[in-house]
Amino acid sequence: MKLFIYHTPELTPSSEVPDCAIAIDVLRATTTMVTALAAGAEAVQVFSDLDKLIHVSEAWPTEKRIRAGERGGAKVTGFDMGNSPLDCTPEQVQGRRLFISTTNGTRALERVQNAAAVLAGAFVNRRAVVNYILSEQPETVWLVGSGWEGSFSLEDTACAGAIAQSLVAQLNLPVDELAGNDEVIGALSLFDQWQDRLLELMHHASHGKRLLRLDGDEDLKYCVQMDLLDVLPIQREPGVL
């Protein structure tokens, strides 16, 4: 098995596809998706384009859908919810399909949607992602961070490092045998340094600061909870997990 980390959708190769790709947007899109499925959502359908989301979800019965839209950290006017995982209660999402568009996370998922297997990963479902990789043993695994509008993000890289660290430990492999690129070594070091202070790391992250300005303190606390949910969002058809 070879593991590759790409910090943003833009840095992810377009000329090849891996056996397994995991899109990561700790703050907050993939955390929200995992939480929605844990709360009983029927599925999560992702869109980079808001108009397309509205058009496709129009065909869905109102009581069976929930529209989540976020831009710049804020809820999109007219949508049922923004992108807070804390809004994904069973009362809100159970039995419904979550139609979601966010600034970066949904783009990361779209970027890798042709991979043989596509997952959404976050700290909250780190163990479920690792267990899937260990059981399926894909030859090439990509961890794709969402970043922020094309730039590196601390939180997605730390989460990629958390997944990599668990794989190294459980496969009992020298790091160099697993690492397909230098980003893996960097992510392992970042996670190693901050693993006991992930909330503090979120406070250093530019997107963490953006969310704090939008009163996102509780979201940050929620998103750093490691292995909270045994849920594996896995793509069943392009764009639907």
Residues in touch with ligand 3SL (CB under 6 A): 25, 27-29, 70, 73, 83, 102-105, 146, 211
Pairing of strands 74-75, 65-71: antiparallel
Taking the complex as a whole, the smallest distance from the CB of residue 211 to ligand 3SL amounts, in Å, to 6
Pairing of strands 97-101, 43-46: parallel
* Cβ contact 47:100 at 8 Å: yes
Cβ neighbour number for residue 40 with a 10 Å cutoff: 15
Taking the complex as a whole, the smallest distance from the CB of residue 172 to ligand 3SL amounts, in Å, to 34
Taking the complex as a whole, the smallest distance from the CB of residue 103 to ligand 3SL amounts, in Å, to 4
| Euclidean distance between CA atoms 74 and 70, whole angstroms | 5
| Euclidean distance between CA atoms 156 and 161, whole angstroms | 9
Pick between residue 54 and residue 86 the one whose CB is nearest to ligand 3SL: 86
Taking the complex as a whole, the smallest distance from the CB of residue 195 to ligand 3SL amounts, in Å, to 22
Taking the complex as a whole, the smallest distance from the CB of residue 210 to ligand 3SL amounts, in Å, to 7
Amino acid at 224: V
| Euclidean distance between CA atoms 147 and 193, whole angstroms | 20
134 membership: H or E segment, kind and range:
helix 126-136
Pick between residue 27 and residue 128 the one whose CB is nearest to ligand 3SL: 27
Taking the complex as a whole, the smallest distance from the CB of residue 219 to ligand 3SL amounts, in Å, to 7
CA nearest to 133, candidates 118, 122, 145, 144: 118
Pick between residue 81 and residue 228 the one whose CB is nearest to ligand 3SL: 81
Amino acid at 97: R
The single-letter DSSP state of residue 24 is E
Pick between residue 48 and residue 235 the one whose CB is nearest to ligand 3SL: 48
Pick between residue 102 and residue 125 the one whose CB is nearest to ligand 3SL: 102
The single-letter DSSP state of residue 100 is E
Pick between residue 25 and residue 110 the one whose CB is nearest to ligand 3SL: 25
